[in-house]
Amino acid sequence: MNKHEKPQQDAYPVPDPQEFARNMVKVAAQSQRLVTDFMKGQAAQAKGGAADPLNLTGTFLEFLSHAMRDPTAIWQAQFKLWQGYMELWQNTALRLMGEQVGPVIEPPAGDKRFKDKEWTENQVFDFIKQSYLLSARWLQNTVGEVKGLDEKTRKKVDFYTKQFADAMSPTNFVMTNPEVLRATLTSNGENLVKGLDNLLHDLERGKGQLSIRQTDMEYFEVGRNIATTPGKIVFRNDLLELLQYSPTTDEQYEIPLLIFPPWINKFYILDLQPTNSFVKWATAKGYTVFVASWVNPDARLAQKTFEDYMREGIFEGLDAVEKATGSRKVNTIGYCIGGTLLSATLAYMASKGDDRVNSATFFAAQTDFSEAGDLQVFIDDEQLQSMEEMMKASGGYLDGSKMATTFNMLRSNDLIWSFVVNNYLLGKDPMRFDLLYWNADATRMPINMHMFYLRECYRQNNLATGRMVLGGVKLDLSKVTVPVFLQSSKEDHIAPYRSVYKSTKLFKGPVTFMMAGSGHIAGVINHPDAKKYQHWRNEKLPESVEDWIAGAKEFPGSWWDYWDGWLSEKSGPKVKARVPGDAKLKVIEDAPGSYVKMK
């Protein structure tokens, strides 16, 4: 044993045999109930459902048919894996004899699974860790090197292979996770008893489907300690409530700001807490801020279309802002799918000579979906057909939990498996975290609108190619000449910066593109006071995003002040601050309104 290593028995004490046995009996009883409840839930879900809604059978059969055509490549991959294991065994033997040796393989930067010191200091767990990493690398490399697959099939195989590798991580099992094993022995198994209680509770909450609790859902309440920036609801229709926020300055810019968040989630990602609220910050900068709070649709609204969201959302929102402020010109923001809708609407408005939108800012929003990231693995004809049938059977909408699961799978180690370990294996309650509360506060999707969006954008890319039709108008983004600000994020897995950059070649007015650090949420919601991350700027727009990055300059911290400098020049002179309800629109109720609280 290396003299620097602690005796393993200190970390793993022998439990109280009687207490441990009693808890194991409880675990066995709970496990039996768990299996029974799970099977009942699966049987109920299976009625009328597709046997393979993700179309994995056909995908992997195609992969195997191509893999078998080149057995030499498979043999070479096996040989590389064997070499890796031989080196690992040799290093482990040398370490057991007291020698210092480096690892054969290490987790990638940012991998939080192996942060417990035992994964490095304990020889057994270090061997388990490296053995897993070698196998996972071999599996993904072997899949990635199969020749002859079309690009979409390859991406789908790669994605689900990674999902399998992540699921098989030793961190996800009691006996191969040192932190869990330590907790099990020191608590006489209490962690497993509590963990199974948590698991049963989550199954009951999900009505037979596992609904993992990512945060303390009882602690947060919309309007009490989250989404608390003062304001009023000044307009309401079937699809949205319009929030006008109370001024915090004596004067405001003449041209108001209207924000269209994604309807896939609730609007208050822009107003989580006072310390990270974009809405509160923008109000303090002197903008008259309006935000669309989309309804959480049910079967009554199942037939609402993408065009309805344009007419009842953007058009009626613009009308309402004009009544509330007297300003015909409006600056706009579209976030994610809200930005896609805004892009399509701008093309429609350009064809009609409607010039009410003064400028458009896009947060993590795509118009060209040819490189739309990992979400493309869920979009093929078979999966879309299965989704449509499921939505029809559910009353004409997609349940919010389905969308939440899809997005969680894109970062499964952070948003699924870390909570499996914390909640079910360690038996802990999740921490209080506003962002994860918002992430779990899912919304439903009307069938007509959602299927149009998936097929027209993700499947056929019709918006970028000029083939999308709304209101009888074939949309042409090259007719959009208003000033555009495009925000992207370096690590965004939902709207990749390569995809966002393609919009610079679609709009024909003045375009500013910038890239923030972090991802789809943290790259956007990054208050300057937090002094986190960084962002890159380059006023030139070369043909490729790689050339843009090569010529970009890095700046520390948030990009919000940079955007404020851009928008303030387009917002007109200062006027007396507008108080909600003082103009043609009267107050309906206090912010954050009723729609955001719909479950």
Bond into 592 cis (ω within 30)? yes
| Cβ proximity of 528 and 557 under 8 Å | yes
Helices (H) and strands (E) in the chain, counts: 22, 17
* DSSP letter for each residue of 179-242: HHHHHHHHTTTHHHHHHHHHHHHHHHHTTTS-----S-TTT--BTTTBS---EEEEEE-SSEEE
Both tokens assigned to 597:
């609280």
Both tokens assigned to 511:
């375009």
Surface-to-core class of residue 490, CB atoms within 10 Å of its CB (0-12 exposed, 13-18 middle, 19+ buried)? middle
Give the whole-angstrom CA distance, residue 396 versus residue 454. 16
Give the whole-angstrom CA distance, residue 63 versus residue 153. 8
Q: From start to end of 364-523, where are the E strands? A: 397-398, 445-446, 469-470, 473-474, 484-489, 511-516
DSSP 56: H
Active site residues: 336
Sign of CA dihedral 69, 73, 77, 78: positive
Give the whole-angstrom CA distance, residue 460 versus residue 370. 9
DSSP 464: T
Residue-wise over 38-63: b if at least 16 C-beta within 10 A, else e? beebeeeeeeeeeeebbbeeebbebb
Cα angle 104, 109, 114 (rounded to 5 degrees) comes to 70
Instruction: Report the length, in residues, of the chain.
Output: 599
Give the whole-angstrom CA distance, residue 184 versus residue 425. 9
Surface-to-core class of residue 250, CB atoms within 10 Å of its CB (0-12 exposed, 13-18 middle, 19+ buried)? exposed
| Cβ proximity of 375 and 401 under 8 Å | no
